[in-house]
């Protein structure tokens, strides 16, 4: 598989020591594992937030926001923020092939589920989580470290950014 053919998205919750909860939705490339963009809130993840996430990911990876230049799958679970009619229509209007996992089958979005486990194990559980403000301020650093330094078996023990750099040098 090559980058920018299938992206996935999911969400995770980070429980702070003061009982606040930070909810994060993210976009991930299924080939190079790069966490492209994320949104975070202490409220619920909305369809509008997912639409913004999708648009930011498109602009970040492909340098445009009008339409994808080739078929590109957008794989998500069945959360209401992803299955909302407006969210699906928005993704389709950008040219995405919208795919949702079967109900009660989270393993079908294995790349996203694997990222959630990794991110919680290697970042969330190893850092101080006193409150939502601290967690939200830490997210950019954690995401950058994941993309820059976190090795992946499927990428021959390279980080997402190392893998992307290698692909670019071979073109």
With bands split at pLDDT 50, 70 and 90, how would you rate the model's confidence at 104?
low
Check the CA dihedral 81-125-144-147 and report its sign.
negative
With bands split at pLDDT 50, 70 and 90, how would you rate the model's confidence at 154?
confident
Q: Which CATH architecture has domain 6-169?
A: 2-Layer Sandwich (3.30)
User: Residue 137: is its pLDDT beyond 70?
Assistant: yes
d(CA 171, CA 159): 19
With bands split at pLDDT 50, 70 and 90, how would you rate the model's confidence at 86?
very high
pLDDT the model gives residue 109: 72
Share of the chain above pLDDT 90, in %: 81
User: Residue 91: is its pLDDT beyond 70?
Assistant: yes
Closest to 118 measured CA to CA, from 154, 86, 146: 146
The residue extents of the domains of the chain are 6-169
User: Residue 85: is its pLDDT beyond 60?
Assistant: yes
Q: Cα torsion for 54, 46, 115, 63, to the nearest 10°?
A: 10
User: Residue 108: is its pLDDT beyond 60?
Assistant: no
Share of the chain above pLDDT 70, in %: 96
What is the average pLDDT across 72-80?
A: 92
């Amino acid at each position: 598989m090559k980058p920018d053919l299938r992206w996935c998205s999911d969400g995770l919750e980070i429980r702070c020591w003061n009982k606040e909860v930070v909810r994060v939705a993210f976009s991930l490339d299924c080939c190079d594992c790069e966490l492209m963009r994320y949104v975070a809130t202490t409220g619920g993840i909305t369809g509008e937030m997912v639409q913004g996430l999708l648009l930011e990911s498109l602009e970040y990876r492909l340098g445009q926001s009008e339409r994808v230049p080739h078929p590109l799958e957008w794989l998500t679970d069945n959360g209401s923020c992803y299955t909302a009619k407006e969210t699906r229509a928005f993704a389709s209007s950008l040219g995405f092939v919208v795919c949702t996992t079967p109900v009660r089958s989270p393993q079908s979005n294995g790349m996203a589920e694997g990222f959630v486990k990794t991110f919680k194990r290697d970042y969330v559980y190893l850092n101080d989580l006193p409150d939502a403000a601290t967690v939200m301020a830490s997210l950019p650093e954690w995401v950058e470290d994941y993309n820059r330094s976190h090795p992946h078996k499927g990428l021959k023990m390279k980080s997402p950014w190392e893998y992307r750099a290698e692909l670019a040098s071979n073109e």
